[in-house]
Amino acid sequence: MEYQIEEKSAPGRDKVEVLGATFEKGKPEGEEMGRWCQKLGSREEKLKYLRTALRYWYSKDWFGSEKRKTPA
Amino acid sequence: MAEEKEAKSIDQATVDMIEKATQDGVRIVFERAEAIKPCPIGAEGSCCSLCAMGPCRVPMPKGKEETPEEKKKRTGVCGATAETIAARYFTRKIAAGAAAHGDHGRRVVEAFLLAARGESADFQVKDEQKLLQLALDLGVEIGDRSNNEIAIDIGEKLMEEFGKQEGELLFLKRAPLKRQEIWRKQGVAPRGIDREVVEIMHRTHMGVDQDYQNLLRQGTRAALADGWGGSMIATELQDILFGTPAPVLSQINLGVLKEDEVNFIIHGHEPHLAEMLAVAAQDPEMIEYAKSKGAKGINLAGMCCTANEILMRHGVPIAGNFLQQELAIVTGAVEAMVVDVQCIMQGLTEVASCYHTKIITTDPRARIEGATHMEFDERNAMASAKAILRAVIDNYPNRGKNVRIPSHKTDLIAGFSHETINYLLGGLFRASYRPLNENIINGRIRGVAGVVGCNNVRVTHDDIHVTLVKELIKNDVLVLETGCAAMACAKAGLMVPEAAKEYAGEGLASVCEAVGIPPVLHLGACIDNSRILMAATAMVKDGGLGDDISDLPAAGAAPEWMSEKAISIGEYFVASGVYTVFGVNWPTIGSKEVTDYLFKDYEEKYGGMWAFEPDPLKMAQLMIAHIDKKRKALGIDKARERILYDMAMRRELEAV
């Protein structure tokens, strides 16, 4: 995904760059309506998503309520 | 006073078409059910027909307590007790259900490997994300390899799961860690999908396993080989081939049929052909061909779980659920019903003979006398689908004048895979089950229920499903559904976001409104109950609701169950830690010991147990009481005072 950078004025400073909105404008229609997986373009992005969003299974850092010394 | 007759359905389209069938003199399931009553001895699991010395009937005495001496005499000629007979009956049902899902899974792996090896031009890896997910699960190297190279390794590994003789099924590792420990401790971790089914058939043969607890243990093992094996393999590989479902708007009920178009219905459970037909029906060449026959277009609709598959992925409308299959033909507007496997009534051909409808069987494992057989060739999938579609279109000019399509159809939103629920709850950058867990902990959502299963002509069609689910959501229970249960609730208008405001309790409605989801989520076909297992596992792993599925404030139900697959599904839910209630009847009532074992002792072993309750409101009460029991055990049954700790208080804590 390409991030949008917006310039905003901030108190005490002239202009600062902030991350813009990440939502997509408009309303999806037809076959693509509701689909979200295609927002992940490259294989790297897909793997990253798996390790973060589906961390329950695919992240080595994630233990959740299952943190334990001895694996089952 | 005249006896009040029980309504056949709560669905007006169904009622209208039953009336038309009567007018047309067509014999359908509702009439056949009046002519043949269920055998009361078979229904309670008290009939053994395993050898030629019987069948032996050992029914529980009615209206009086049995003395120990009478109980001792209540055996088959070989001496098999009512317990052994009931347990064998129940376990064989699991074997049949697990075999059905397992064989479905195997066929998916075959198609998947054809696609990966480039031997089927029309099937290909559509969902790379899910492919990578499976590669991580199965330890398949990703690197810079092509999708097809990865897919071949995945397909070969999963194909081995069917014939594996030792070890454990690979997907068991997806379950919560504590659950895996329970399975190992109880000796029910399945080794291979086929092996567990075959072993049941051996152990229930005359004169083998005659200890009901040991029989049921093997039943559990086979059921787990279904839920965490055959079913899960089918769901995952179908997602890779055809896409992981995402929310999609569609319509349901017989009103989706069109008067001026070629109507054809795809019915059964396996999506391969249906996927091809969905594409073929949009092909301009096929549409032109339909127009050349006088139709304005081609209208594909689904029935039963094949319908759920193409609804979830393409939004193809659904004509109805299990008990509506003959009624679709009774409209007189269906050119053909194209069937694959499972839940296809043999009565279809007799009904079709009264109209112009063709019944087209497509699978070598499921042929029906009187039907036209056009085998689906997965190597030439599209050509095969188009040949079938041409035959359907050719039948359009034969449509008669006796056409009546009910106007009833309802909007629904389907497509809630467990990955999509995760995304919807948290968004692309913070996808998470946390909001769900938080809202369960804070009490806005009381708990989660999985309501699944069939229709059964012995109860009012759709009534038990809809009454139960309305009661659950009214009490702030979020409902996840699959199969014909999902279709019943969709027809009742429960699968649109607006339903939350109308039917759900205040807490659940507020969460549904914030997330933008209906209070009843459609997760797919009956094979996709594996998605519910994954959603429950994600809830456990996210934290705050215990460390096992049995700790969750959750319950399951199959209120109008009919098929042996439902028993297998129920057993793997129970063995995964879910309290599961079935309606209609219960197949081990003939043995108090076996029934008590399933209904009570199972809880100690597996954390989940069975229950039976035909009344939907009482069923809801049982499920809600269980959810409340779990909330209490987690300590989230009461609102807690929130204290903000200052530094001094924190230091005090650290000192302790």
Interface predicted TM-score (ipTM) of this complex, two decimals:
0.87
Which residues, at least 6 apart from A48, have a Cβ–Cβ distance to it below 8 Å?
A: none
- For A21-25, B184-188, B456-460, which range has the lowest pLDDT when averaged over its residues? A21-25
Per-residue pLDDT at B384 exceeds 70: yes
Q: Is residue A47 part of a domain?
A: yes
- Which residues in chain B have their CB less than 8 angstroms from residue A22's CB? 428-429
Q: Which domain holds residue A58?
A: 38-64
Check CB contact under 8 Å for A57 and B540: no
Q: Is A39 on the interface with B (CB under 8 A)?
A: yes
pLDDT in tens, B8-31: 999 999 999 999 999 999 999 999
Mean pLDDT of chain B: 95
A29 lies in a domain?
no
Tell me if B248-398 shares its fold with B416-634. yes
Q: Say if residue B493's pLDDT is above 60.
A: yes
A 2-21: CB under 8 A from B: none
Phi, psi of B85, rounded to the nearest 5 degrees: -65, -45
Place of tokens 């302790």: B656
pLDDT category of residue B1 using cuts at 50, 70 and 90:
very low
Query: Is the pLDDT confidence value at A31 over 70?
Result: no
B132 touches chain A (CB under 8 A): yes
d(CA B522, CA B470): 15
d(CA B420, CA B337): 32
pLDDT at B445: 97
CATH level 3 topology of B416-634: Rossmann fold (3.40.50)
Task: Report which of B204, B232, B245 is spatially closest to residue B51, judged by C-alpha positions.
Answer: B204
What's the average model confidence in pLDDT over B476-497? Answer: 97
Residues A35, B314: C-beta atoms closer than 8 Å: no
Residue from the list A35, A62, A71 with its beta carbon closest to the beta carbon of B177: A71
CB B43 within 8 A of CB B494: no
- Looking at beta carbons, which residues of chain B come within 8 Å of A43? 128, 132, 142
Cβ-defined contact of B314 to A31 (cutoff 8 Å) = yes
Q: Break chain B into its structural domains and give their ranges.
A: 82-242, 248-398, 416-634
Cα–Cα distances in angstroms (integers) from residue B588 to residues B83, B88, B464, B591, B612, in the given order: 9, 10, 21, 6, 11
Q: What percent of chain B has pLDDT over 70?
A: 99
Of A36, A64, A72, the CB nearest to B428: A36
A22 domain-assigned: no
The gap from C-alpha B55 to its chain's centroid, in whole angstroms, comes to 32
**Domain B82-242 class, CATH top level:** mainly alpha
Q: Which of B129, B314, B542 sits opposite A56 (nearest CB)?
A: B542
Per-residue pLDDT of B392-448, as tens digits, reads 999 999 999 999 999 999 999 999 999 999 999 987 778 899 999 999 999 999 999
Among B494, B480, B478, B472, CA closest to B444: B478
A3 inside domain: no
Characterize the bridge pairing of strands B248-252 and B410-414. Answer: antiparallel
Residue A11 lies in a domain: no
B137 and A CB contact within 8 Å: yes
Contact A57 B541 (CB under 8 A): yes
Q: Do A57 and B136 touch (CB under 8 A)?
A: yes
Q: Do B428 and A43 touch (CB under 8 A)?
A: no
B211 CB contacts (<8 Å, ≥6 apart)?
B84
- Determine, for residues A36 and B180 on separate chains, whether the beta-carbon distance falls below 8 Å: no
Per the CB < 8 Å rule, is B137 touching A57? yes
Question: What's the CA gap between B149 and B127, in Å, rounded?
Answer: 14
Q: Select the residue of A34, A37, A39 nearest B247 (Cβ to Cβ).
A: A34
Q: Which residue has the tokens 């600062």?
A: A16
> Could you tell me the pLDDT band of residue A70, with boundaries at 50, 70 and 90?
low
Minimal Cα distance from B413: which residue of A?
Answer: A34
Residue B224: both structure tokens together: 């787990």
Contact partners, residue A3, CB within 8 Å, separation at least 6: A19, A20, A22
Q: SS3 for B266?
A: strand
In tens, the pLDDT along B355-371 reads: 999 999 999 999 999 99
Task: Identify whether the C-beta of residue B103 lies closer than 8 Å to the C-beta of residue B233.
Answer: no
Residues from chain B that touch A50, judged by Cβ atoms under 8 A, are 129, 132-133, 136
Whether A7 is covered by a domain: the verdict is: no
Cβ within 8 Å of A, B 67-106: none
**Is the Cβ–Cβ distance between B308 and B482 less than 8 Å?**
yes
CATH 3.40.640.10 for the B248-398 domain, yes or no: no
- How far is A55 from chain B, CA to nearest CA, in Å? 9
Residues 217-276 of B with CB under 8 A from A: 244, 246-249
Q: What is the DSSP string of B56-90?
A: EE-PPPSSSPPPHHHHHH-B-TT--BHHHHHHHHH
B432 neighbourhood in chain A, CB within 8 Å: 53
DSSP assignment letter at B390 = H
Q: Which residues of chain A are within 8 Å of residue B420 when distances are taken between CB atoms?
A: 36
Residue B649: predicted pLDDT: 84
Q: For residue range B242-281, what is the model confidence (pLDDT) as tens digits?
A: 999 999 999 999 999 999 999 999 999 999 999 999 999 9
Alpha helices (runs of H) in B353-417, residue ranges in sequence order? 381-394
Tell me the mean pLDDT in the region B195-207.
Answer: 98
Predicted pLDDT of residue B427: 79
Residue at A10 is within a domain: no
Q: pTM score > 0.95 for this model?
A: no
Q: Which of A42, A45, A47, A57 to mutate to test the interface with B (most CBs of B within 10 A)?
A: A57
Which band of pLDDT confidence, cut at 50, 70 and 90, is reported for residue B87? very high
User: Does residue A53 form part of some domain?
Assistant: yes
How far apart are the C-alpha atoms of B325 and A23, rounded to whole Å? 43
Task: Give the chain B residue whose CA is nearest to the CA of A71.
Answer: B177
**CA dist list (Å): B221 to B31, B210, B256:** 39, 17, 41
Closest CA to B484 of B550, B569, B420, B578: B569
- From start to end of B63-167, where are the E strands? none
Question: CA B132 to CA B145: how far, in whole Å?
Answer: 11
- DSSP-assigned letter for residue B37: P
How many domains does chain A contain in total?
1
Nearest chain B residue (CA) to A47: B132
Does A59 lie at the interface with B, CB-CB under 8 angstroms?
no
Least trusted range by pLDDT, from A21-25, B179-183, B228-232, B256-260: A21-25
Q: What is the pLDDT of residues B36-75, one digit of tens each?
A: 999 999 999 999 999 999 999 999 888 888 899 999 999 9
> What does the pLDDT read at residue B85?
97
Task: Indicate which of B131, B137, B316, B419 best probes the interface with A, i.e. most A CBs within 10 Å of its own CB.
Answer: B419
| Reported confidence tier of residue B2, pLDDT bands at 50, 70, 90 | very low
Residues in chain B closer than 8 A to A30 (CB atoms)? none
Q: Which residues of B touch A1 (CB under 8 A)?
A: 428
- Give B2 or A38, the one with higher predicted confidence: A38
Q: Does B429 touch chain A (CB under 8 A)?
A: yes
Contact A50 B129 (CB under 8 A): yes
